Structure 1
Amino acid sequence: MAAPPPHGGVRVLRTEHVTPPASALSEDRAVPLTFLDATWLHAKPVERVFFYRLVSVSGADGVDGMLSKLADSLSQALGTFYPLAGRIRLKPGETNRYELFSQPGDGVAFTVAEQDGVSIEELATDVEREVAKIVPLVPALPEGGAVLAVQATILLPAPAGLALGITMHHAACDGTSSTHFLHTWAAACAAAEVSPEPPVIDRSFIIDRKDLHDVFARPIDRAVKKRFNPTDAIERLIATYTLSKEHLQSIKDIVTGEAARRGVPPPRCTSTVAAYGVMWMCHLRATQATGEPDPPNGGHAYFLFLTDHRGRLEPRVPSRYFGNCLGPCRASMPKNGAAIATVTDGLFTACSAVAVAVDEAVRREPGYWEGWPERIVEACRNGAPFTVAGSPRFRVYGVDFGFGKPAKVEIVSVARTGAMSVAEGRGGSDSIEVGIALPPDGMDSFRRCFDHVIACLAPSRQNDVI
């Protein structure tokens, strides 16, 4: 008999141990962690939930058959992504070198559950929802160094919906690799005619740096860790905002126009830069509006994000490389009212700072990697910096297991890290979707700021913001 439902109405029915095919993991295998992996050793895992409306699945047999297909295809996908079946461990004979170790019989915990009382219509929406209602839909990583766990929760009454929770340890791989795995799994489940090409599991493409490995593998500074672990995470609200192609173009036009007015070269304002800039500005305004004190000297607001270096390192790293191949970007702007006195000032200042950070990361000047730990500490000195999880390039809304594209994808872990989640817009047309998790008063302030900025982007209001 199943245990009574805990918080959130989620009742665990069973947990299976899904292993790769025996032929794929017939002997012990070890994949070393590079310095780019080691930086995530002590970070919390990334937690995603994919919500699906099960309009083509009917009856108990249909649901059971769907769950069976999910488990069987997970095994198939683990055949090519076998490190995800293993665990992170200290390399034998080493004191500070780690590896992804897998051996025959290793596998992934696949939990099947059901939830009463919260419908898919309440969960798979853009409007503000309680984080506490979504957290039970993501599994915890089993102890012992596991890097992947899956939870399939049927949203009752069946077969109304499915919440597929994925928890992934960032030290195993980055978002490019983890979503490559998800697309591979989905293609196997849907029996797609064309499947993604297999990953390249060869860490020798990354020239490891012993001097940086030890630095990056250290436990997170206590003060920094505190910044990224708010005590009110479970009490926060989460909401989604969409920036259309037209919104993004208006931001680019405003930034270009303001650069011309100031007589300075315009920053390289891509759609991603525009999205990052407007959300950072709104987040800064929202936190200021809720009474968060400024540092005595006015200080700076910091924005930390990552860029993929697969096409930039020497030797070149394959696009299908499995692991972490991310470089840091740090943007900053004055944390005072003058810097964002108007929408135009704010957009120009924020987008310019983001563009400069991207340019610095792409150039990778001498000392780029070496100075990064100190720059994180500096960015956290006066509060938690704004950060990013996800990317429009990951195509998370294309993860179709054979019962339709996701109705909604949520990165639940942003409630804990304070990051914004980023994905391609569900409506296509080059839109970008952004998720934010804030306390209720902060969410109210953010919504008002965002709505005001969007209103100012309308062609008829352009003159009002300049």
Structure 2
Amino acid sequence: MSMTTILDTCLIAPPPGQAAELSVPLTSSDIIWLHFHPIRRLLFYEYPFSKPYFLETLVSKLKHSLSLTLKHYLPVSGNLIYPSNTEKMPVIRYVPGDSVSFTIAESSNDFNNLIGNHARDANMLYDFVPQIPPVKDEGEYKIVPVIALQVTLFPGHGICIGFANLHCLGDASSIVGFILAWASISKSGCENELLREKGEFLPIFDRSAFSTSELAVDSMYWKLMGEGPLISSTFPLPTNKVRATFIFDQANIKWLKDLVLAKKPDLVQVSSFVVTTSFVWSCLVRSGDATGEEVDGNVLEYFAFAVDARARRNPPLPANYFGNCLGYGMAKIKHEELVRDEGFVIAAEAVAEDINNRVNNKDELSKRSENLLSDLQKFIGIRVLGVSGSPKFDLYDADFGWGRARKLEVVSIDGEKYSMSLCKSRDSDGGLEVGLSLPKERMEAFTSIFVNGLIH
């Protein structure tokens, strides 16, 4: 039985008087995500709101600030126009009257349990995830909302703001920029502060930087992708998973770096990202063996991570380009090597070398970006750990006027067989925070290996 009640669902539009219409073409970097599940994030805030204050003051403030934010992010309040004929290209289109679904809810769930780091039932979080409104079929094309928002009150404890967006709308850099802009306007009460502080960082939707040859690739990708069904906006429940958060403080990270450099003194690019993700990767694979999973030692284990390619393009795109602009990194190791005692060091070497030789090589990364669709298809059925999020984007900084967020949960990692969320640690300066969603037995094994691996 749900302990959460929907109080209202309304539609929030930009202020009147905006552009008559704005259509943003989808590039190949957007099109490849058309059939990917929505990205879902939850931000919890600890603040003892009462229900009357929440309903009479806070909700109206959030609505007003959201409307002002959408003025600068018109396509976010628009829809994906998905043609039934692949001769026509998909676009994200805003027309006056378009709006964002905004749900208001109240929950009697245990707030402190929800914001904990310990393993807990992943199903609990779905009460706070907004539902993207249903697709409208207009015959020649489908109209698909691109984002939905929900704010849930835990009386006397805090609130949760939930975000769900289609990946084709934009990558983490774009969506986090939108969230931080909304927080800034909500905190200050007007858009002047946003314009003063972040005016030069307001989103750019212009696609004119893309060359004719790239536009041809866009069309090719659409012909390949356009035949597929649109992905369902919900995950099947129950997930049969538990979620937990693991913190790497500065001391942990330094110790892991020293461990790698002691064995591989000439290795470059031994960053916090490299040692953190490599340690999680090796612990996760070993946890499979610990729970009785039988894997041929010669089977390849993959680790894949997205890379913001804006600055790596020729010419580069501005940092505030709104959309998807991703390359990727990829490391692979035989299973038998990764589960050895030195598996972590082997993993760190593979990830560091991929970053140094390919990710940081503009030509190599460009090739990967161009081949992303065919490469993604190769990933189907292989053993791969992916990453959602990046330490570069600090969602804990999203202060709506009640201080920094208390907990971030990337709910969409439930939709992957193995995926980790990664962000800056809220409470450990210079530290990192990893979220995992795994079957209970696998999580217990991972936790034991993780804790023992950091004892020194």
Same fold (TM over 0.5): yes
Aligned to 1:461: none
Aligned to 1:329: 329
Aligned to 1:37: 30
Give the aligned residue type for 1:142. P
Give the aligned residue type for 1:240. T
Aligned residue among 203, 206, 209 for 1:199: 203
The structural deviation recorded for 1:9 is 1.6
- Is residue 137 of structure 1 aligned with residue 128 of structure 2? yes
Aligned residue among 1, 4, 22 for 1:10: 4
Say which SS state the counterpart of residue 444 (structure 2) adopts: helix
Q: Structure 2 length normalisation: TM-score? A: 0.89
| Alignment partners' CA distance in 1, 2:104 and 2:117 | 26
1:8-51: per-residue Cα shift (whole Å, max 9, x none)? Answer: 32211111100011123x41110001111111111001101111
Give the aligned residue type for 1:203. R
Say which SS state the counterpart of residue 376 (structure 1) adopts: helix
Matches within 5 A, 1:13-24: 13-24=7-18
Give the aligned residue type for 1:258. K
- Is residue 162 of structure 1 aligned with residue 159 of structure 2? yes
The structural deviation recorded for 1:232 is 7.5
1:200-223: per-residue Cα shift (whole Å, max 9, x none)? Answer: 12122344342365337744999x
From the superposition, tell whether residues 136 and 250 of structure 1 become closer, same or farther in structure 2 (CA, over 3 Å).
same
Aligned to 2:220: 214
- Is residue 281 of structure 1 aligned with residue 282 of structure 2? yes
Aligned to 1:60: 52
Note if contact 2:27-2:218 (Cα within 8 Å) is conserved in structure 1.
no
| Alignment partners' CA distance in 2, 1:53 and 1:82 | 30
Aligned to 1:3: none
| Alignment partners' CA distance in 2, 1:221 and 1:255 | 47
From the superposition, tell whether residues 93 and 132 of structure 1 become closer, same or farther in structure 2 (CA, over 3 Å).
closer
Aligned to 2:340: 341
Note if contact 2:387-2:421 (Cα within 8 Å) is conserved in structure 1.
yes
Aligned to 2:21: 28
Note if contact 2:32-2:373 (Cα within 8 Å) is conserved in structure 1.
no
The structural deviation recorded for 1:70 is 0.8
From the superposition, tell whether residues 374 and 287 of structure 1 become closer, same or farther in structure 2 (CA, over 3 Å).
farther
The structural deviation recorded for 1:362 is 2.6
The structural deviation recorded for 1:416 is 1.4
Say which SS state the counterpart of residue 269 (structure 1) adopts: coil
| Alignment partners' CA distance in 2, 1:59 and 1:138 | 20
Aligned to 2:140: none
Aligned residue among 241, 247, 254 for 2:246: 241
Matches within 5 A, 1:83-102: 83-90=75-82, 95=87, 97-102=89-94
| Alignment partners' CA distance in 1, 2:226 and 2:453 | 36
- Is residue 179 of structure 1 aligned with residue 172 of structure 2? no
| Alignment partners' CA distance in 1, 2:405 and 2:323 | 25
| Alignment partners' CA distance in 2, 1:379 and 1:302 | 9
Note if contact 2:282-2:338 (Cα within 8 Å) is conserved in structure 1.
no
| Alignment partners' CA distance in 2, 1:221 and 1:347 | 42
The structural deviation recorded for 1:428 is 4.1
| Alignment partners' CA distance in 2, 1:71 and 1:424 | 28
Give the aligned residue type for 2:401. G
From the superposition, tell whether residues 212 and 340 of structure 1 become closer, same or farther in structure 2 (CA, over 3 Å).
farther
| Alignment partners' CA distance in 2, 1:62 and 1:51 | 15
1:196-253: per-residue Cα shift (whole Å, max 9, x none)? Answer: 331112122344342365337744999xx9xxx9978622100000101111111111
Q: Structure 1 length normalisation: TM-score? A: 0.87
Aligned to 2:350: 353
Aligned to 1:392: 391
Note if contact 2:104-2:150 (Cα within 8 Å) is conserved in structure 1.
yes
1:147-168: per-residue Cα shift (whole Å, max 9, x none)? Answer: 110011112xx23221111001
From the superposition, tell whether residues 148 and 232 of structure 1 become closer, same or farther in structure 2 (CA, over 3 Å).
closer
Say which SS state the counterpart of residue 454 (structure 2) adopts: helix
Which structure 1 segments of 5+ residues have no match?
Answer: 1-6, 459-466
From the superposition, tell whether residues 62 and 112 of structure 1 become closer, same or farther in structure 2 (CA, over 3 Å).
closer
The structural deviation recorded for 1:381 is 3.2
Aligned to 2:318: 318
Larger deviation: 208-217 or 313-322? 208-217
The structural deviation recorded for 1:90 is 3.1
Give the aligned residue type for 1:389. S
Give the aligned residue type for 2:294. P
| Alignment partners' CA distance in 1, 2:304 and 2:206 | 28
The structural deviation recorded for 1:276 is 1.1
From the superposition, tell whether residues 279 and 126 of structure 1 become closer, same or farther in structure 2 (CA, over 3 Å).
same
- Is residue 46 of structure 1 aligned with residue 51 of structure 2? no
Aligned to 2:425: 425
1:168-194: per-residue Cα shift (whole Å, max 9, x none)? Answer: 111011100101000100011111745
Give the aligned residue type for 1:340. V
From the superposition, tell whether residues 255 and 314 of structure 1 become closer, same or farther in structure 2 (CA, over 3 Å).
same
The structural deviation recorded for 1:371 is 3.8
| Alignment partners' CA distance in 2, 1:245 and 1:142 | 42
